[in-house]
Every structure is written in C-alpha cells, then in structure tokens.
Structure 1
Amino acid sequence: MELAPIALSVYNRLDHLKKTVSALKDNTLASESELYIFSDGPMTGDEESINKVRQYIKTIDGFKSIHITEREYNSRQYNNRQGMRQLLDNYGKLIYIEDDIVTSKFFLQFMNDALDKYENVKNVTSICGYTSPIEIPQDYPYDVIVDPIACIWGFGIWKDRFDEINWKITDFEDFCKNPSNLIELDNLGKCFKELMEAEHLGVLDAMDIKLMYQQFKNKHYTITPKYSLVNNIGWDGSGDTCAPTTRFNVDLSKVKHNLNVSVNAKVDNKVLDNLKKFRDTPSEKKWEIDSY
C-alpha cells in the first residue's frame, strides 16, 4: 500500500501545533509518511507568533521527509486548498489536518487503509478520523460508520473526488424547490440547510459545507471510525472561527488497536439517529454558523 502524504496547515497557535505534531509523530506510520507543512502568511499583528511557529516547524522530525511552504500573504482558503491541490496533483490522494487536530496513534493506519480500500467505491467521497461522541449500538458489527455528512477534522480524499467539489453553490435555490430534498436534509440535522444557504449566499466559504452539499446531492458518503481517532482541541476560543465549548471532545483511548476497515459496512439508521440527536442539540446551529 502506497501511503498518502500528510498536509498540515498551520498559522499562529504554537502550543496547539506542538500537541498536534507530538500526537502525529506517535502514529505507527509516521516514520514512513511524507509530511507537507503549509504555513499561512501573517495578518497584521501576528508576525511575531508566525515567526515562532516557523522556527518550530523547522525542528520537526520523526517523518520520512518534511516539506515546508511559507506563504507571504494571508489567505486561509488559499493556503489550505492550494496545499491540497498540490499534493493531489502529485500523489492522487492525501490526508489533511490542521494545527488543532490531535490524533490517536492509530489514525494514520486507519486513514491509509480506508483510502486504499474505498478508492474505487465511487459513492464514498471522503474519509474522516473524527466521529462525534455518540452512543454506538452494542450489536453494531463494523469498525467504521457510513455517514452522509462530511467532516474535515483529520480527513482524507482522492484527487477525482476533490476535482468534483463545486466551490460555488449556485443551485441551492433550485435544490430547495424540491420538498423531498429539505426533508431528507432535515433528517440528517436541522442545522445543515442554514449552513448551506449561508454558503450559497457567500456568508461562509467553508470547504466542509461545500463537501456536505456535494455529498448530499449525489447521495455519497464519508467513512469514519466507530470511535473517534481525532480530537479537535481548537474549540477553546483560540481559533479565528470558533467559540469555546467542550461538546465535541472525545476520548481517544477508546480505540486500543488498528481498526478493521471493511468495505461491506452499510448505512445504519440507529447510528444516524444518534448522530442527528447530537447535531440537533440547541447550541449546534449557533455554533456552526458563528464558527466559520
């Protein structure tokens, strides 16, 4: 199996970044993996913190090789998406994390296994290492979940799926004219229509919302682990897009071995119901809208 390159997007959160890198280095496949670091350019006033981050990333070791790109100008979207495009053009697939994503030591194995096994399953658009802290039915037989909703907190994608992303949602009004679309979307989570509408209107410019919309229209899926292999530590108020909360926190110690990534996994309505309950908590919509 050819391992996917890792794209790591960084800005000015040195403490978060150190935790992210430490956890990633602890992965069993880290020493065999190519790490590409994309450092966004500074906004006015952030020059000192950016310089500290750039000094630190030059000291990182523990990977097969490390490649660093330092942007002169600030553009989160350009830094992230152009970095992804570069790796996808060269490798055909990638694993992407930001500087607030702490991973289980089994994360890279899961992501590479899933990218390998689902590459030719064309109704799977992406892989994600994060799973919401929900109850999993005791009789659930798989180590993976088939989820219609995309998430990019430690995610993987192939070039052909990335090429299909519509970076401007221009047909949302037509989409909403079909009542069945809105019913199906509401059944996945009450916040998603408003998020997609905000994306359509240009209020948001969020890759995960674009990916969600694409998946939903095409009836495609994201594959996630049964228990999360990712903890997002950026919900502490330190980021530029989120307010503080602990509701997304997960226990990475639940997974104690490599997962069995089965392409036979099916959509499970009990699991989807539990995901919907989590997503429909009263704070969810406010959170999502305020956070991008």
Structure 2
Amino acid sequence: MLAPIIIFAFNRPEALKRLKKSLASDYLYEESEKFVFIDGPRNENDQNKINTVVEIAQTITSNVTVSIANKGLGTSIITGVSSIFQKYEKAIILEDDLICTPNFLSYMNQALDFYEKDDRIISVCGYGLKIKRPKNYVGDVYLSGRSSSWGWATWKDRWEQIDWNMKDWKEFSSDPQKIKAFNRNGSDMFSMLKDYMEGKNKSWAIRFCYNQFKLGKYAVCPFLSKVNNEGFGEEATNCKQQYSRFKVNIDQSGDTHFSFDPQISPNKQIEKECYHYHSIKMRIYSKIRNMLRF
C-alpha cells in the first residue's frame, strides 16, 4: 500500500502550484491518497492569498482542511500528521515550498517499505546533502543523526514516540556531555532547541531531531536528493535568507528502483561531511553571504 501524501500550505499559491506540478510528473501521484492542510491567516492581507491556495488545493484532492485561526507551521504539522496517523501506519510529508523529482514517490515508498521493521530508523528523508559517496559503499542512501524536514516520511509507531512537550528539558539542558553529543549532529542543534524552549521559535523539526537523538535513531537520506527547497526569501516562514549553504545533487536519473543495504550503518566519512554543513564556520560564512547578498 502506498503511503498517503500530506501537504502543508499557507499563503503562497505559486509555491503550491509548483509543488503540484512536480508531484504530478510522478507516476505514483494519481494512485496516492493526498491530504492538504492550510493554515489560517495571520492578518487580513493573508486571506486573499489563502483563498487562492484553497482553490489550488482542491485541484489536488478533496481532502482539504483549512484552519480558521493561524496555528503556525509547527502546530499545523504536529496536529495534521497526528490526525492522519489515526488511520494510516505511514505517511509522506511535504511543505508547499518544495520541488520533487519525478522519482520522489518511488524512492519514498520503497524506503518506507524496506526500513519499516528496522527500529533504528526514525525517518526517511527525500532531501539529501551534497555528500560524496565513499569508495565501495553499498546502496543509494546513508544514515544521518539529523532528520531533514524538507520532504520526509515516517511511520506511526515512530511518530508516537516523540515527546513534543520536552519533559526532560531541565535535565538535558544542565548536562554538558549530552549537549555536546547532541551538537555532533550540527553546531546549531542545542541553540535551536534552546530558542524553542525560550519561545524564540516554534520549530517542530528541532524537537523531532532532539527526540531522534534521545532515542538513538537515524534518518535515511539519499546521495542524490529527490527534493529541492525553493523556500528561501522574504516570504519564507523559517528561511528568509537568499543564499543557502545546503547544496544538493538533484536526482536527474529517472530511476524508479533503488538499492538499500540491509546492513547499513553509520559511516565516519559521511558523518564528517554532514557536520561540515552545520559547522560554525559554514554558518558564519552563510550569514556573511546573506548580509552582503551574494
């Protein structure tokens, strides 16, 4: 059974059109069940755009849920995905600023089926960083201690393990060794989580990644990314910069069958490359690029 596709949208009709167009080029699109959740307006200026987004969403599926109030992306995703898992055992999740390759759904469904019984895996990511495949490496994917929110999937039993309320925050935040270990997945991890706890962001993704760390689980990521994020710019919810340090090799192969290693394990070389993208050095470089707008 194919995993249902859950799309989260807000006030960007052109973005949703582009996402729909990219998904429609996938041969599994028509036979996949689809759900669209649209967040409510923050102000009067949002309403007209949201009305247009609703019209586009209704050309994708009849399963359209429109919020009256503005929940914010974090709450929208947590409540929306949780509602779908009342009926389904797995799901593919997308935001409206993403563009998918024609083999995105094939990859996601095959990976979901292959790793369903592997309790080490918490998510399947469609987005993959520009990581060099090590010599003699087996398979089209690698393991990461950090899930990506840019086109991903998970299973009901993994989703239900997440503590969204961060009940152990006090204990964790006072343990330097645990903080250091968490930051091995990126120098920004603890600071983002701390910002959430202090009300400076509303991220669901950093809480998901923290629970992934706490549970000792991995994300499966592709060497050739099946997703490109176009959500950089002034209208973006979380990524307002123009320059992105998250470079990808987009999958242009057209392949619809993928190689997964049942003995997959973390790779030191890959872990080092992944950390580089989230290192302090790269973050500073990225900020300078965006300040100078080049």
Q: Percent identity?
A: 28
- 1:142 corresponding residue in structure 2: 139
Q: How far, CA to CA, are the matches of 2:184 and 2:29 in structure 1?
A: 39
* TM-score between both structures, scaled by the size of structure 1: 0.89
- Alpha-carbon distance in 2 for matches of 1:68, 1:269: 43
Structure 1: state its 5+ residue gaps: none
> Partner of 1:245 in structure 2?
243
RMSD: 2.1
Aligned to 2:208: 211
Question: Would the aligned equivalents of 2:19 and 2:100 in 1 still touch at CA under 8 Å?
Answer: yes
Structure 1 residue 171: Cα displacement: 2.1
In structure 2, the partner of 1:223 is 220
Q: Is the 8 A contact 1:132 1:250 kept in 2?
A: yes
The yes-or-no answer on 1:107 pairing with 2:117 is no
Does the CA contact (< 8 Å) of 1:110 and 1:261 recur in 2?
Answer: no
Q: 1:249 & 1:14 partners in 2: Cα distance?
A: 25
For residues 79 and 176 of structure 2, what CA distance do their matches in structure 1 show?
A: 36
**DSSP-derived class of the 2:69 partner:** coil
Q: Offset at 1:56? A: 2.1
Assess if the C-alpha contact under 8 Å between 2:99 and 2:229 holds in 1.
Answer: yes
In the other structure, the counterpart of 2:185 is 188
Per the TM alignment, residue 178 of structure 1 is displaced from its structure 2 partner at its CA by: 4.1
Q: Deviations over 1:143-202 (max 9, x none)?
A: 111111111111111111111111122323422444442332333321112122223333
Amino acid at match of 2:233: D
**Structure 1 residues 251 and 163 mapped into 2: Cα distance closer, same or farther (>3 Å)?**
same
Name the count of aligned residue pairs.
283
With normalisation by structure 2, the TM-score equals 0.88
Partner of 1:39 in structure 2? Answer: 38
Aligned-pair CA distance for 1:26? 1.0
State the match for 2:290 in structure 1: none
Q: Which amino acid aligns with 1:32?
A: E
SS at match of 1:46: helix
Conserved in 2, the CA contact under 8 Å of 1:113 and 1:261? Answer: no
Counterpart code for 1:79: S
Who is 1:274 aligned against?
A: 273
Q: Secondary structure at the match of 2:263?
A: coil
- Indicate which of 86, 91, 101 corresponds to 1:89: 86
User: What corresponds to 2:56 in structure 1?
Assistant: 56
Quote how far apart the aligned CAs of 1:5 are: 0.5
Take 2:284 and 2:277, find their aligned partners in 1: how far apart are those partners?
Answer: 11
How big is the shift at 1:220? 0.6
Structure 1: distance between partners of 2:116 and 2:87: 16
Q: Which runs of 5+ in 2 are unaligned?
A: 288-294
**Shift of the alpha carbon at 1:11?**
0.7
Per the TM alignment, residue 136 of structure 1 is displaced from its structure 2 partner at its CA by 2.7
1:236 positional shift: 2.7
Are residue 71 (structure 1) and residue 67 (structure 2) matched? yes
How has the CA–CA distance of structure 1 residues 218 and 194 changed in structure 2, closer, same or farther, with 3 Å as cutoff? Answer: same
C-alpha change, 1:169 and 1:186, in structure 2 (3 Å) is same
Partner of 2:151: 154
* One-letter identity of the residue aligned with 1:144: V
Write the distance in 1 (CA, Å) between the matches of 2:5 and 2:101: 15
- Compared with structure 1, are the counterparts of its residues 78 and 216 closer, same or farther at alpha carbon in structure 2 (3 Å cutoff)? closer
**CA distance in 2: counterparts of 1:48 and 1:144, whole angstroms:** 42
Equivalent of residue 234 in structure 1, options 206, 231, 234: 231
